Amino acid sequence: MTHQTITLHLDGITAGDYLAWVRDPEPPASELRAVALEADPLGDTVVATLAWAGVAPAPHVAAAAAGLPLSADVSAVTATARSPVRADLPLAA
């Protein structure tokens, strides 16, 4: 499973309005397993932490899959992804 953090930077709309009026509360089915959102309702950023069954897609694809479309009010999208380390693999010598 891969964890990905996406940050949407908004311009012209508050995070609260974006989540209330633009966000799709029932995103399309995909390899996405979990979505957690953080936002100050009067702020200009929305942070989504996503859990993927496989490899995380590109940020714009991931945002759409999570129900966060890149409307005209989204000025930028940044993302980081990390895969958990498997504990059953031997360490290199």
22-47 pLDDT per residue, tens: 999 888 878 999 999 999 999 999 99
**Residue-range definition of the domain harbouring residue 39:** 2-82
89 domain residue, yes or no: no
Per-residue pLDDT for 72 more than 70? Answer: yes
Determine what percent of the chain is predicted with pLDDT higher than 90. 75
pLDDT band for 91, please (50, 70, 90 cuts): low
pLDDT band for 84, please (50, 70, 90 cuts): low
Number of helices (H), then strands (E), in the chain: 2, 4
CA-to-CA dists, residue 53 to 6, 8, 21, angstroms: 16, 22, 28
In degrees rounded to 5, what are phi and psi of residue 18? -60, -45
What is the model's pLDDT at position 28? 81
The domain tally of the chain equals 1
Per-residue pLDDT for 82 more than 90? Answer: no
41 domain residue, yes or no: yes
88 domain residue, yes or no: no
CATH number at residue 43: 3.30.70
Dihedral sign for Cα 40, 46, 47, 49, please. Answer: positive
Are 13 and 22 in contact, with CB atoms under 8 Å apart?
Answer: yes
